[in-house]
């Protein structure tokens, strides 16, 4: 298996299970968040984050376009601007909109994969706005799929804590 096949397979699987979990969310629960601890996103904030957790960053790595204004310098951002606390994160209010946005992010991820050669995936070194260490492009893109998976797992546990009937098959798409 090459990078392209691996990444395409992971994109398809991760987005499908994420969509299936979003189907389990009820709009009445969008303001729910765990009661213990701190800095938790609400379910609505988490679902919103899932809708741009992968493809948008893949676009940044593949094209250099991070969606910021011309001349923007990530190094000038404060740590809170780079990773805002949960209460400052946007929320989704409509689950239909969330599914549409998730589908768009998947399409963007697949588009970026198509724009990338196997040679670049295996050998082009990249940095991230949050990590100046050089890492091969294929691994960076795999990390973005992992980012989606991490938050998909968070939604899985939110649903469990809300008493929804989910199990391991729902998490992994089995």
Q: Go through the domains of the chain in sequence order and give each one's CATH number.
A: 3-172 (1.20.120.450)
CB 165, CB 171: distance < 8 Å: no
pTM for the whole structure:
0.92
Rounded Cα–Cα distance for residues 120 and 21 (Å): 33
CB 126, CB 135: distance < 8 Å: yes
Positive or negative torsion for Cα 132, 133, 136, 139: negative
CB 11, CB 54: distance < 8 Å: yes
Which helix (H) or strand (E) element contains residue 104?
Answer: helix 95-114
Read off the pLDDT of residues 7-43 as tens digits, 9 standing for 90 and up. 999 999 999 999 999 999 999 999 999 999 899 999 9
Give CA angle at 26 (107, 52), nearest 5°.
25
Provide the 8-state DSSP code for 2.
-
Residue 77 is predicted with a pLDDT of 66
Place of tokens 């809300």: 162
Q: How many CB atoms lie within 10 A of CB 126?
A: 19
Phi, psi of 83 (to 5 degrees): -135, 85
Read off the pLDDT of residues 117-135 as tens digits, 9 standing for 90 and up. 999 999 999 999 888 899 9
């Amino acid at each position: 298996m090459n990078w392209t096949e691996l990444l395409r397979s992971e994109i398809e699987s991760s987005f499908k299970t994420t969509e299936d979990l979003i189907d389990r969310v009820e709009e009445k629960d969008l303001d729910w968040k765990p009661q213990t601890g701190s800095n938790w996103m609400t379910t609505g904030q988490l679902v919103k984050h899932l809708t741009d957790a992968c493809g948008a960053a893949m676009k940044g790595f593949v094209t250099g376009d991070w969606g910021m204004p011309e001349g923007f310098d990530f190094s000038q951002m404060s740590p809170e601007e780079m990773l805002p606390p949960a209460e400052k994160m946007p929320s989704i209010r409509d689950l239909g909109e969330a599914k549409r946005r998730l589908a768009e992010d998947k399409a963007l991820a697949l588009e970026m994969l198509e724009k990338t050669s196997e040679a670049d995936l295996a050998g082009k070194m990249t940095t991230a706005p949050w990590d100046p260490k050089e890492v091969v492009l294929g691994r960076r893109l795999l990390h973005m799929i992992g980012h989606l998976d991490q938050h998909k797992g968070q939604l899985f546990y939110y649903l469990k804590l809300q008493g929804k009937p989910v199990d391991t098959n729902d998490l992994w798409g089995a």
